[in-house]
Structure 1
């Protein structure tokens, strides 16, 4: 079973959070998780805010917005 901390560790190592990983996190956050997973998720949030981890979903949104604005 994949844990929240596993996904976070991968994202921190690569500096990138894929849409698939985001969806997996959403599913895992619906279930019970321990303090270590919660702390890992908070670390990921801080990394995303500071720009240390890029989110595929945000990049896709920004690209779509840019394309729509130039049309």
Structure 2
């Protein structure tokens, strides 16, 4: 997903749901999350983001950015 006019309508929880469903967080999705976290979001989005962080720490979601640089 690219951060452009159309994607600014995307919510953090939608990006998180995609990553949790696939078990994979792309660099594009990671960048979109960074952008969305600088804008207005609600507690449901924040809770979703924390769930994603927990899933990544527990190995349930792999991060493309970490695979690229060899971090496990």
TM-score by length of 1: 0.87
Computing the radius of gyration over CA atoms, which structure comes out larger, 1 or 2?
1
In the alignment, the residues of structure 2 paired with residue 59 and residue 51 of structure 1 have an alpha-carbon distance, to the nearest angstrom, of: 13
Quote the RMSD (CA, aligned, Å): 1.0
In the alignment, the residues of structure 1 paired with residue 38 and residue 45 of structure 2 have an alpha-carbon distance, to the nearest angstrom, of: 12
Q: How does 1:9-24 map to 2 (within 5 A)?
A: 9-24=17-32
Aligned partner of 1:53 in structure 2 is 61
Q: Deviations over 1:18-49 (max 9, x none)?
A: 00000000000001110000000000000000
Number of residue pairs the alignment of both structures matches: 63
Greater fraction helix: 1
Runs of 4+ in 1 over 2 A off after TM superposition: none
In the alignment, the residues of structure 2 paired with residue 17 and residue 48 of structure 1 have an alpha-carbon distance, to the nearest angstrom, of: 9
In the alignment, the residues of structure 2 paired with residue 30 and residue 38 of structure 1 have an alpha-carbon distance, to the nearest angstrom, of: 12
Aligned partner of 2:4 in structure 1 is none
Gaps of 5+ in 2: 1-8
